[in-house]
Amino acid sequence: MSRRKTERLLNLVVCLLATRRYLTAEQIRRAVPGYPESDEAFKRMFERDKEELRELGVPLEVGSDQLGGGGEEIGYRIPPQDYELPDVHLTPDEAAVLGLAARVWQRASMAEAASGALLKLGVG
């Protein structure tokens, strides 16, 4: 997967997680960098992106909010409660194994990511 596509998908997930309302395709197009100017190209790319998120297990919810004039337009969002992971509670032995693995990774190219993950888990 290209870097641009990865960034676009990540930005799409962040955008859809950050809203309680359904966002229309046009709102998403304006909010998420990386979509093309052409309407047809945008539609094709957005359809591919939605499919890719679903394949990755992202719970993309489709629905609509009542608009001012009684009209409805299809929109998208990701309900945080369906996507966020629960808190991780490690035993002392599990924390020790993670610490050991992180020390091994420090010699690899993943050193920064491993240290950040340990900090988030409260182990590092």
pLDDT at residue 38 above 90?
yes
From residue 86, alpha-carbon distances to 28, 52, 78, 89 in Å are: 27, 24, 16, 9
Q: Where are the domains of the chain?
A: 3-81, 92-121
The mean pLDDT of the chain is 87
CATH of domain 3-81: 1.10.10.10
CB-based contacts of 57, cutoff 8 Å, min separation 6: none
Question: Taking Cα atoms as reference points, which of 29, 21, 6 lies closest to residue 78?
Answer: 21
pLDDT of residue 73: 86
Tell me how far apart the alpha carbons of residues 49 and 117 are, in angstroms, rounded to a whole number.
27
Interval 94-114: pLDDT, tens? 988 988 887 776 666 566 666
* Separation between Cα atoms, residue 81 and residue 107, nearest integer Å: 36
